[in-house]
A and B are shown apart, each in its own frame.
Chain A
Amino acid sequence: DAGVTQSPTHLIKTRGQQVTLRCSPKSGHDTVSWYQQALGQGPQFIFQYYEEEERQRGNFPDRFSGHQFPNYSSELNVNALLLGDSALYLCASSGAGKWYNEQFFGPGTRLTVL
């Protein structure tokens, strides 16, 4: 079992550009959540996808959008990048049909905005 995988590992962009980050969930999981972790802070919830729809969303602007594919993999898109978007972006997956949904995290994508 490969666990949760994310790509790319690192990314450097300039202000105003757009970026797409990718996540493959753990085998058997159908729910994907995205988190942003600034340096020295805990991860902050961005949104969660289930059955290809955004199920809930944290306090992030519309510049942050996502998508979930039929194979449960997911993308996070960020438009009009700001310097403050520099962070570690974490993807977590969990499975439906379980009373306790332990979340499994990937290693993250480190985004640097110059």
Chain B
Amino acid sequence: DAKTTQPNSMESNEEEPVHLPCNHSTISGTDYIHWYRQLPSQGPEYVIHGLTSNVNNRMASLAIAEDRKSSTLILHRATLRDAAVYYCILGTTGANSKLTFGKGITLSVRP
């Protein structure tokens, strides 16, 4: 499985935008970029995914570099509830897809 590299941690202020980076220089042409997050004492939850184009949903935006070797998860207005570990994962989307998690980035949000 292709690997991703994320900073260990990041801090942000409440109601400000947050940009969480992810490097994936060995990404293959068929790899999707998935983001999941894990709130304290909960299982991971899906945030967003993309292949080549930037993606938006109600939770976040995903900006993908043109060469696909890096991507950025954007939370437009951080809330205290967004404090979590965010995982950037590469993989397929087929029925037998599995998720290969790294350590993720721990986001802290200051009130």
Residues on A facing B (Cβ under 8 Å): 4, 31, 33, 35, 40-45, 48, 50, 55-56, 58, 90, 92, 94, 96-97, 99-108
Instruction: Tell me whether A103 and B99 are in contact (CB under 8 A).
Output: yes
Residues of B within 8 A of A104 (CB): 45-46
- What are 21 inter-chain pairs, A to B, with CB distance below 8 A? A4-B43, A31-B95, A31-B96, A33-B98, A42-B87, A43-B44, A43-B99, A43-B101, A44-B101, A48-B96, A50-B96, A90-B43, A92-B99, A94-B95, A96-B95, A101-B95, A101-B97, A103-B46, A104-B45, A104-B46, A105-B42
B100/A107 in contact, CB under 8 A: no
Bound-state CA distance A27–B75 (Å) is 30
Given contacts A90-B44, A92-B43, A106-B43, contact A58 B98 (CB under 8 A): yes
Interface size class of B (residues with CB under 8 A): 20 to 34
Is B69 interfacial (CB 8 A cutoff)? no
| Complex: A105 Cα to B43 Cα, angstroms | 5
Asked if A107 meets B42 with Cβ closer than 8 Å, knowing A42-B103, A100-B49, A100-B93, the reply is yes
Contact B45 A56 (CB under 8 A): no
Our count of residue pairs bridging A and B at CB distance below 8 angstroms stands at 62
Q: Is B17 an interface residue (CB 8 A)?
A: no
Cβ contact within 8 Å between B98 and A41: no
**Taking CB as reference atom, which chain B residue is nearest A4?**
B43
Taken together as a complex, chains A and B put the C-alpha atoms of A43 and B85 apart, in Å, by: 12
Which B residues are in CB contact (< 8 Å) with A96? 95
The residue on A at minimum CB distance from B1 is A45
A40 to B98, CA, bound (A): 21
List residues of chain B with CB under 8 Å of any chain A CB. 41-46, 49, 85, 87, 93-104
Q: Which residues of B contact A107 (CB under 8 A)?
A: 41-43
Give the distance to chain B from A9, nearest Cβ to Cβ, in Å: 11
How distant is the Cα of A24 from the Cα of B41 in the complex, in angstroms?
19
| Measured CA separation A107–B42 after assembly (Å) | 5
Residues in A with CB closer than 8 Å to B46 are 102-104
Q: Which residues of B contact A50 (CB under 8 A)?
A: 95-96
List chain B residues, Cβ under 8 A from A43.
44, 99, 101
